[in-house]
Amino acid sequence: MFLINILLVDDHTLFAKSLSVALDEYNEIEHFYSTQDIQGIGQMVCDKNIDIILMDINLGNLSDTDGLEIASNLLKSSPMVKIIILTGYDLPVYRHEAKKIGISGFLNKNISPDDLISSLIHVSRGNTCFPSESNEIMIEDLTSMEKKILQLISSGKKRKCVADELYMSERTLSNHLQHIFEKLNVSSVVEAVTKAIKDISFSVEKGEFLGIMGTSGSGKTTLLHCISTIDTVSAGHIYLEGKDVTEIKPKSLARFRRENLGFIFQDFNLLDTLTIEENIGLALSLNRQDPGAVQSRVREVAGKLGITGILEKFPYQVSGGQKQRAACARAMVAGQSLLLADEPTGALDSKASKNLLEIMTAMNREMGATILMVTHDAYSASYAKRVLFLKDGRVFNELLRGDRGRPVFYHEILDVLAALGGDVSDVI
């Protein structure tokens, strides 16, 4: 019989105690130790003849470094040590990173004691223990030029125009397209473009602030365009409050957008010939609502955003921050079900970006606005309650903010972006 010495590294004392009690009845466990001394792990491994380390990923109460990085450093100094990640963060991005650095196993904290013992024995015999990922499809990364070609073609440009814009011959463009087809395993431009988002399924709860991130070409903007009815889907359905958006007739789409969708732009898009009040109430006026009701609703929303005093002014007469608030008021004045923001801070300086994000947060928390934001910026994404990460047109990972502070959430987002296969500057 194998007798195994276990060391648990976890920042929750209650979990450590519970696991100790659960494993106490198993003869296979010779000794069970736990520690919260990150610096002393290596010495404890030697002193206690530890066979397997069980390491959590989130060690926020113990260290600024997560469990994967700590494990990686341990393996560099002691390559023979066996480490199993035991975590509640059972997500593909973490499993992928764990395999890459030489971790022996990856288990969810919900595992039963019997299954945990079986996994420990399996790893102690020199094997690895990871969840099955047979359903995951890996697509070879496209080059920057190939992504640019797809972006231009998906915008509706003809091949000749794309070739001219990229300073290449149509023959060279055709060669690039052939390489794209081979990488994506498709046979046409239409398939290549529609494969930008494939088999994506997720829901946005009423009153939620959701961020969408991913590397260039991952499909995040295409996804937003499909939700906003700017682009049409080739398969699948999109539901907004029970209504199938994909079934709306083309002639009814403009009215659907006015009544159900709000858009937050980085450059405000206010009309200079209209007052702030008229800009905010434009969607209501286009829907031919009673002028008195329009004025009442505009003043209600303006009051919540603190811009009642500028309603009589024109956009050129107010500050940038006031324009931001006016644009946000316009986005939700009609009681829109969903607010969509595509890179809302992309062209703003740091101060303006912070102001806009704080406005959006207030709209979400205090006014109940449901917001879906596409962004390349981890700082912007950290204001969301939940972040989805896209890769190769699929949801690759998900982070929930929960009760964690925004700075902690920001660093967790950076960790996921790094694991997506590039540094932060690649995520555009």
Query: Is residue 330 over pLDDT 80?
Result: yes
Backbone angles phi, psi at 107, to 5 degrees: -130, 150
> pLDDT at position 421, please?
56
The CATH number of 209-426, from 3.40.120.10, 1.20.1250.20, 3.40.50.300, 3.30.530.20, is: 3.40.50.300
Instruction: Give the helix, strand, coil percentages of the chain, each rounded to 5.
Output: 45, 15, 40
C-beta neighbour count of 257 within 10 angstroms: 18
pLDDT band at 212 (very low <50, low <70, confident <90, very high): very high
Top CATH class of 144-194 equals mainly alpha
pLDDT in tens, 38-57: 999 999 999 999 999 999 98
List the one residue out of 114, 117, 104 whose CA is nearest residue 53.
104
Query: Is residue 424 over pLDDT 50?
Result: no
Percent of the chain with pLDDT over 90: 32
> pLDDT at position 8, please?
95
Q: CB within 8 A of 274, min separation 6: which ones? A: 282, 314
- In this predicted structure, which of 44-53, 117-126, 178-187 has the lowest mean pLDDT? 178-187
Average pLDDT over residues 32-41: 92
Instruction: Name the amino acid, one letter, at 340.
Output: L
Task: Decide which of 245 and 154 is more confident.
Answer: 245
pLDDT band at 170 (very low <50, low <70, confident <90, very high): confident
> pLDDT at position 317, please?
95
- In this predicted structure, which of 2-6, 182-186, 338-342, 383-387 has the lowest mean pLDDT? 182-186
Average pLDDT over residues 302-322: 92
Q: Distance of alpha carbon 221 from its chain centroid, rounded? A: 13
pLDDT band at 228 (very low <50, low <70, confident <90, very high): confident
pTM: 0.54
> Counting Cβ atoms within 10 Å, is residue 144 exposed (0-12), middle (13-18) or buried (19+)?
exposed
Q: CB-hemisphere CA count at 13 Å for 19?
A: 26
Backbone angles phi, psi at 393, to 5 degrees: 80, 10
Q: Could you give the CA distance from residue 360 to residue 369 in angstroms, rounded to a whole number?
A: 9
Domain ranges of the chain: 4-124, 144-194, 209-426
Query: Is residue 298 over pLDDT 50?
Result: yes
- In this predicted structure, which of 73-77, 150-154, 242-246 has the lowest mean pLDDT? 150-154
**4-124 against 209-426: fold identical:** yes
pLDDT in tens, 66-98: 888 899 999 988 888 899 999 876 666 677 778
Average pLDDT, the chain: 84
At 160, list the tokens: 């000749």
> pLDDT at position 155, please?
57
Only one residue has tokens 């699929």, namely 394
At 325, list the tokens: 């608030």
User: What SS3 class is residue 55?
Assistant: strand
C-beta neighbour count of 49 within 10 angstroms: 9
**Structural domain 4-124, CATH architecture:** 3-Layer(aba) Sandwich (3.40)
Top mean pLDDT of 96-100, 177-181, 222-226, 282-286 is at 282-286
pLDDT in tens, 190-200: 666 655 566 67
List the one residue out of 323, 310, 330 whose CA is nearest residue 268.
323
H helix and E strand count, the chain: 18, 13
Task: Decide which of 426 and 221 is more confident.
Answer: 221
> pLDDT at position 140, please?
46
> pLDDT at position 315, please?
94
> pLDDT at position 174, please?
86
Average pLDDT over residues 207-224: 82
